[in-house]
Structure 1
Amino acid sequence: MNKLMVLGVAALMIGCASSTEDLIAKGDWYQVGYQEGLRGNTSRSVADLKQYSNVELSEYDKGYLTGVAEYCNPNFAYQIGLSGQYYEGVCEGMEEGQKFRMEWQRGWSEYNK
């Protein structure tokens, strides 16, 4: 059952609808930010985003914050750690950030046994 749950979370995180490059080409900056937040990646810098002529910083930020809010659910943190995904600290400062880190660490420790 646990392995099934891990595979489901991994599929959700990996199986995002379009690749980042496709979304950038389409100018869908909300989805670029959302997918990066949902994967637990740190936010891109303004300098990095400014290299794209069609960038919409506010849309990227909105999507990113929505994705991070979903990623930082402590109920899934153990499975994220257990799947071997490194935690980049994006949940720090959030209401349940400490609980997320503790659950992720528990899964990460199990992964590294």
Structure 2
Amino acid sequence: MKNIEIKWTKKAAVICCVLALTACANTSEDYAKAGDWTSVGYSDGVKGKPHRTAGDFKGYDTVNVNDYAQGYLKGVKEYCNPNHAYQIGLSGNYYEGVCEGTPDSQKFRMEWQRGWSDSQLNK
């Protein structure tokens, strides 16, 4: 009986930790409000979103487009890994072409398309 209680307690603790971490996760909006433009760019890039311009941040007093661009390039580099492209497509995430011009863009696109096609079959 104690083993069951211990296992349940461990599972409950893990679930609570995951929920707590998720609740604390920062969004692009949070980073922008804090003036952390590198993190805003990274967040956009790693999600495969198109590069934004300063005009997209009209509600903010100051925008550091250079920091945003540096973060964005780092995020896109991670996003455009062809080893993850199939999973991105399979999860139903649309590819907006942010990897075009990168060395593995063709492989990324092919793997993403394969995952996207499989995701459509499962609907």
TM over 0.5: yes
User: Residues 61-89 of structure 1, C-alpha deviation per residue, up to 9 Å, x if partnerless?
Assistant: 00000000000000000000000000000
Structure 1 runs (4+) greater than 6 angstroms displaced? none
Max radius of gyration: which structure?
2
Q: CA–CA distance in 1 between the matches of 2:107 and 2:23?
A: 26
Counterpart check, 1:33 vs 2:47: no
Residue 17 of structure 1: how far off its partner (Å): 3.2
The residue that corresponds to 1:57 in the other structure is 65
Query: Please, what is the CA RMSD of the aligned residues?
Result: 1.8
Q: What secondary structure sits across from 1:99 in the alignment? A: helix
Residue 41 of structure 1: how far off its partner (Å): 0.2
User: Which of 85, 110, 113 is the aligned partner of 2:118?
Assistant: 110
User: 8 Å contact 1:27–1:55 — kept in the other structure?
Assistant: yes
Q: Please, which runs of 5 or more residues in structure 2 have no aligned partner?
A: 1-21
Alignment of 1:1-80 (within 5 A): 17-49=25-57, 51-80=59-88
User: 8 Å contact 1:49–1:57 — kept in the other structure?
Assistant: no
Counterpart check, 1:101 vs 2:115: no
Greater share of helix: 2
Q: Which moved more, 1:20-29 or 1:32-41?
A: 20-29
Residue 49 of structure 1: how far off its partner (Å): 3.1
User: 8 Å contact 2:54–2:63 — kept in the other structure?
Assistant: no
Matched positions, count: 100
Residue identity over aligned pairs, in percent, reads 57
Give the TM-score, by structure 2 length: 0.76
Counterpart check, 1:88 vs 2:96: yes
Q: CA–CA distance in 2 between the matches of 1:67 and 1:38?
A: 4
Q: Please, which runs of 5 or more residues in structure 1 have no aligned partner?
A: 1-13
